[in-house]
Amino acid sequence: MKLYNVLSQSIEPFTPGNDAVSIYVCGITPYDTTHLGHAFTYTTFDVLIRFLEYQQRPVTYVQNVTDIDDDILRKAKSVNDDWLAVGNRWTRHFIEDLQTLNLRPPDHFPRATEVIAPMIDIIERLLDKGVAYEKGGSVYFYVDDWPEFGQLSRIPKADMLAVANERGNNPDDPHKQDPLDFVLWQAHAPGEPAWDSPWGPGRPGWHIECSTMAAGLLGNTIDIHGGGSDLIFPHHECEIAQSEAATGEKPFVRFWLHTAMVHHEGEKMSKSLGNLVMARDLLKTWSPDALRLYLAGYHYREIWSHDDDALAAAEQRAQQLLAAATASGGTGPAFDASTSEAVVINALDSDLDTPAAVAALTQLADDIVTAAAAGQDVAAAQTTLKGLSTIFGLRLDADGPEERVIAGWDEHLKKF
């Protein structure tokens, strides 16, 4: 299998560092989900994980919940509710959507507030190494002490601050030595939740949360780390710096994978622009299989725009696949699906080319229906079709999501 590694900006052969492939995907900040951009990211990684498992490769998958963050606190204030209640409510909403879409649950689904103590340990280590400093009860990572900062995003240093400011950085913090330095621990502000630390009460910074959960559950070097492309800078850039500085081990991540942004009405889909398309709203009209095929119809690295006509076409494909899976064949010669299977596998091996794979799967479905009508034995081909369909999380003729999907997510729900 070959994958595009954002770190090298090239397609490379992928082999895991150990028997099990370790995968960490940045999860939601639960205050308004699940829009089409969320669905695109998490279904993309679901296809990747299911494909690896289809090839008999064990996977350990971690997806986190950023349950303490500026956005959640703002949301809680705007609706006059407790921040924890807001986060829990939207996380449950998110889980219900992913269950409906038949996404394989992560093996670990940690919330940031579960790992406060380990985060403090890592921050203390960074202070001891001299790459972080404390002032005013907050702790910051000193970016100039990490010369490789920028290796992932390749944004020129002169342009970094403007991008960081758009994505949560506060350049006017009087305690910072440099406006680009990022927060590891944020001193307590009135009305905000706080935890005890050696520097006084406060809460963790956004970036240290993911580094801590990733390393704690997958080790100091993980195979694949991903999320939306808007996380490349500053979030994932900061993760690399603090993780490698803390452990002294490189690389923190062997392959960085990022999904492209989804557009709607001519702009990137975002809450601030008010152009969000919610998965749950689409599922009132379209089947889960249609939405899965619709999302898989776009390559994960290519920016695309929401298109109702394309979604309607995906519903037709879903019906084609269902017809093939349930067609009654005859006792004639067996229909051979091995060539079609190889086309699907080769497409997915080639940087997860889901559009080509879906096209081949749809063609196989049409061929099965034609062969069945001609009296051929299609039972083995249907088994192949159903097996390939599981890679895309399709239900076909099943009454609902897979049992492991319901059971796994229900277990995670107990924390929220």
Q: pLDDT, tens digit, for every residue of 66-113?
A: 999 999 999 999 999 999 999 999 999 999 999 999 999 999 999 999
Condensed to tens digits (0 to 9), the pLDDT of residues 140-160 reads 999 999 999 999 999 999 999
Tell me how far apart the alpha carbons of residues 63 and 107 are, in angstroms, rounded to a whole number. 8
Query: Is 165's pLDDT higher than 80?
Result: yes
Q: What percent of the chain has pLDDT over 70?
A: 100
Tell me how far apart the alpha carbons of residues 296 and 47 are, in angstroms, rounded to a whole number. 8
C-alpha dihedral (242, 245, 249, 253), degrees to nearest 10: 20
What is the assigned CATH class of domain 308-407?
Answer: mainly alpha
Identity of residue 76: A
Condensed to tens digits (0 to 9), the pLDDT of residues 367-416 reads 999 999 999 999 999 999 999 999 999 999 999 999 999 999 999 999 99
Query: For the chain, where do the domains classified as CATH 1.20.120.640 start and end?
Result: 308-407
Condensed to tens digits (0 to 9), the pLDDT of residues 222-244 reads 999 999 999 999 999 999 999 99
What is the assigned CATH class of domain 2-274?
Answer: alpha beta
Condensed to tens digits (0 to 9), the pLDDT of residues 121-144 reads 999 999 999 999 999 999 999 999
Strands 132-135 and 59-63: unpaired
Q: How big is the CA angle at 246 (ends 166 and 45), to the nearest 5 degrees?
A: 55
Rg of the chain over CA atoms, in angstroms? 23
Q: How big is the CA angle at 218 (ends 90 and 86), to the nearest 5 degrees?
A: 10
DSSP secondary structure letter of residue 49: H
Q: Where are the alpha helices (DSSP H) in 79-156?
A: 83-100, 116-128
Q: What are phi and psi of 199, to 5 degrees?
A: -105, 10
pTM of the model: 0.97
Query: For the chain, where do the domains classified as CATH 3.40.50.620 start and end?
Result: 2-274
Tell me how far apart the alpha carbons of residues 298 and 355 are, in angstroms, rounded to a whole number. 6
Query: Is 197's pLDDT higher than 80?
Result: yes
Task: Name the residue among 211, 270, 273 with its Cα closest to residue 237.
Answer: 211
Contact 210, 237 (CB under 8 A): no
Q: What local confidence, expressed as pLDDT, does residue 271 receive?
A: 75
User: What number is the average pLDDT over the span 173-182?
Assistant: 97
Task: Name the residue among 184, 191, 192 with its Cα closest to residue 137.
Answer: 184
Q: What local confidence, expressed as pLDDT, does residue 247 receive?
A: 95
H/E run at residue 60: strand 59-63
Structure tokens at 165: 């400011």
Tell me how far apart the alpha carbons of residues 397 and 51 are, in angstroms, rounded to a whole number. 21
Tell me how far apart the alpha carbons of residues 358 and 41 are, in angstroms, rounded to a whole number. 17
Q: What local confidence, expressed as pLDDT, does residue 136 receive?
A: 97
Query: Is 255's pLDDT higher than 80?
Result: yes
Tell me how far apart the alpha carbons of residues 228 and 136 are, in angstroms, rounded to a whole number. 33
For the beta sheet containing 222-228, the strands, ordered from the edge strand earlier in sequence to the opposite edge, are: 59-63, 21-25, 222-228, 253-259
Contact 62, 111 (CB under 8 A): no
Q: What percent of the chain has pLDDT over 90?
A: 96
H/E run at residue 304: strand 304-305
